[in-house]
Amino acid sequence: MKNLLSRRSIRKYADRPVDEMLLNRLMTEAARTQTMGNLQLYSVVVTRSDEMKAKLAPAHFNQPMVTAAPVVLTICADFNRTSQWARCRKAEPGYNNFLSFQNAAIDALLYTQTLCNLMDEEGLGYCYLGTTVYMPQMIIDTLQLPQLVMPVATLTVGWPAEEPALSDRLPLESFVHQETYSDYTPAAIDAYYREKEALPENQHFVELNHKETLAQIFTDIRYTRKDNEAMSAGLMEALKHQGFL
Ligand SMILES: Cc1cc2nc3c(=O)[nH]c(=O)nc-3n(C[C@H](O)[C@H](O)[C@H](O)COP(=O)(O)O)c2cc1C
3-state secondary structure of 131: helix
Whether 2 has a pLDDT exceeding 80, the answer reads: no
Q: Which helix (H) or strand (E) holds 150?
A: strand 149-158
Q: Which helix (H) or strand (E) holds 47?
A: strand 42-47
Determine if ligand 1 sits within 6 Å of the CB of residue 8.
Answer: yes
pLDDT of residue 57: 98
Whether 1 has a pLDDT exceeding 70, the answer reads: no
Helix axes 20-30, 98-122, angle to 10 degrees: 130
Compute the distance from residue 128 Cα to the ligand 1 centre, in Å. 6
Dist. CA 196–CA 202, nearest whole Å: 7
Backbone angles phi, psi at 16, to 5 degrees: -145, 130
Backbone angles phi, psi at 243, to 5 degrees: 85, 10
Compute the distance from residue 83 Cα to the ligand 1 centre, in Å. 32
Atom 6 of ligand 1, nearest CA residue:
129
pLDDT of residue 199: 98
pLDDT of residue 93: 98
Whether 214 has a pLDDT exceeding 80, the answer reads: yes
Determine if ligand 1 sits within 6 Å of the CB of residue 64.
Answer: no
Compute the distance from residue 86 Cα to the ligand 1 centre, in Å. 37
Kindly report the length of the chain. Answer: 245
Compute the distance from residue 207 Cα to the ligand 1 centre, in Å. 23
Across 125-141, average pLDDT: 98
Residues 6 or more apart whose Cβ sits within 8 Å of residue 170: 192, 193, 196
CATH superfamily of 4-165: NADH Oxidase (3.40.109.10)
Quickly state the pLDDT bin for 3 (edges 50, 70, 90).
confident
Residue 70's closest CA among 97, 46, 93?
46
**From 56, 60, 126, 127, mutation site for ligand 1 pocket: most ligand atoms within 8 A of C-beta:** 127
3-state secondary structure of 144: coil
Helix axes 136-143, 225-241, angle to 10 degrees: 40
Dist. CA 130–CA 92, nearest whole Å: 34
Put residue 189 in one of left, alpha, beta given phi > 0 → left and psi -120 to 50 → alpha. alpha
β-bridge pairing 125-129 and 71-78: unpaired
- Which three-class secondary structure string do you get for 223-238? CCHHHHHHHHHHHHHH
Compute the distance from residue 126 Cα to the ligand 1 centre, in Å. 10
Domain positions in the chain are 4-165
Determine if ligand 1 sits within 6 Å of the CB of residue 130.
Answer: yes
* 157-202 pLDDT per residue, tens: 999 999 999 999 999 999 999 999 999 999 999 999 999 999 999 9
Contact 217, 211 (CB under 8 A): yes
Contacts 24+ apart (CB under 8 A), 197-201: 199/168
Determine if ligand 1 sits within 6 Å of the CB of residue 63.
Answer: yes
Determine if ligand 1 sits within 6 Å of the CB of residue 128.
Answer: yes
Determine if ligand 1 sits within 6 Å of the CB of residue 167.
Answer: yes
pLDDT of residue 162: 98
Compute the distance from residue 127 Cα to the ligand 1 centre, in Å. 7
Compute the distance from residue 216 Cα to the ligand 1 centre, in Å. 19
Atom 31 of ligand 1, nearest CA residue:
128
Residues 6 or more apart whose Cβ sits within 8 Å of residue 225: 219
Determine if ligand 1 sits within 6 Å of the CB of residue 127.
Answer: yes
